[in-house]
Amino acid sequence: MGLVETFRGPVDSLLLGPTLIHEHIFVRSPELEVNFPDSEWDRSVAVESAVAGLTDLHDQGIRTVVDVTVPGLGRDVQLVKEVAERVPVNLVAATGWYTSNVLPPYFQVHGPGRIIDRPDPLIDLFVGDIHHGIAGGPVRAGILKVMTDVDGITPDVARVMNAAAIAHEETGVTITTHSHPASRNGREQQAYLKERGVAPERIIIGHSGDSEDLDYLCQLMDNGSTIGMDRFGMEHVLSDERRVRTLTSLLDRGYVGQMVLSHDAAFYSHVTPPSWRASSAPRWRMDTLSRSVIPKLRAAGVSSEDITRMMTENPRRLLETAK
Ligand SMILES: [Zn+2]
């Protein structure tokens, strides 16, 4: 048992309930908004859409949503806090940096051995977000997020991962990843973080559900990590029918304790705006598990106990801090 930081302050982990562990409230591009605005971005429309969507999720039985939007994806906790204050579900904030290759110029100049020689500001950022609150508070981050994609662990991505490993050691907060399952790079993430002292049990290899390679997925779990079957509804990558087939195969093999379910959806994303989502990815929404996938799992014979483990108990274990 322990306390988990949310947008409304610490919550007893036993009260987290069914949890969507990898979602985005808003994905934005602040610099583009200033210079090349998106006609689909309307602050109040976005807020109302998130409030309505999250209130509906509560009606569907969801009690906690983890917003893994970190800097690099337009994190704005003041905006999300406006939403959090109006919805019955808990929202959890994340820290980390989202880049698949390079960091912004600031980080090229500030850091050990750089022009402005000082300890890595990424470490201050991550630890500060978790211990003191994001941008001066009061919202504290409850999870660390790192990413590697097709470029693998570039020097700047390595810097983010090193800083996350140090912040994990100082805070005990779990590390979740964006992986690129097509190149099976969850293994590389796992090995890299483990070398830096992170127990594989405290790592979620995100987006693993994009893969249908059971040997790869079992290997990640046999090494101790939890895998994110976290893109239900993202049928432009892989159909839900195939995602469900992979999930039930892994349940048959006994991996219920090491899988978490989510959508990686958003109420607004500048990258894939609402109009595109409506026409090309209509099921990529945060209610797809509740309304469609979980009923299908039950019909396929998956027990309520197994669903509770994946939706409630596994997220709770991972969101509880290890110290
Ligand atoms: Zn994501």
pLDDT in tens, 267-288: 999 999 999 999 999 999 999 9
pLDDT at 85 over 60: yes
- Three-state DSSP class for 126? helix
Cα of 110 from ligand 1 centre, angstroms:
27
Any idea what DSSP says for residue 236? T
The stretch 52-59 carries a mean pLDDT of 98
CA of 98 to the centre of ligand 1 (A): 10
Cα(209) to centroid of ligand 1, in Å?
13
Whole-number Å distance, alpha carbon 93 to ligand 1 midpoint, is: 13
Per-residue model confidence (pLDDT) at position 323: 56
CA–chain centroid gap for 12, Å, is 20
Whole-number pLDDT of residue 197: 97
2-17: burial string, b at 16+ Cβ within 10 Å, e else: eebbbbeeebebeebb
> pLDDT tens for residues 183-234?
999 999 999 999 999 999 999 999 999 999 999 999 999 999 999 999 999 9
Structure tokens at 12: 């007893």
Residue 279 CA to residue 274 CA, distance in Å, equals 9
Looking at residues 53-73, what average pLDDT do you find? 98
Mean of pLDDT values over 251-273: 97
Ligand 1 centroid from CA 113, angstroms: 32
Span from the CA of 141 to the centroid of ligand 1 (angstroms): 16
Ligand 1: distance of its center to the CA of 270 in Å? Answer: 13
DSSP string, 24-78: EEEE--HHHHHHS--TT--HHHHHHHHHHHHHHHHHTT--EEEE---TTTT--HH
User: Does 50 have pLDDT greater than 70?
Assistant: yes
